Amino acid sequence: MKKVINSPKAPKAIGPYSQAIEANGFLYISGQLPVDVNTGKIVEGGIQAQTEQSLKNIGYILEEAGLSYANVVKTTCLLSDIANFAAMNEVYAKYFTSECPARAAFAVKDLPMGAQVEIEVVAAR
What are the structural domain ranges in the chain?
Answer: 2-124
The domain 2-124 belongs to what CATH superfamily? RutC-like (3.30.1330.40)
pLDDT of residue 31: 97
CB contact at 8 A, 122 and 90: no
pTM recorded for the entire structure: 0.96
Mean pLDDT of 47-67: 98
How far apart CA 100 and CA 84 sit, in angstroms, is: 20
pLDDT of residue 37: 96
What is the per-residue pLDDT across 58-107, written as a single tens digit (0 to 9) for each? 999 999 999 999 999 999 999 999 999 999 999 999 999 999 999 999 99
CB atoms within 10 A of CB 70: 12
Is residue 14 scored above 90 in pLDDT? no
Percent above pLDDT 70 for the chain: 100
What is the per-residue pLDDT across 58-68, written as a single tens digit (0 to 9) for each? 999 999 999 99
pLDDT of residue 17: 95
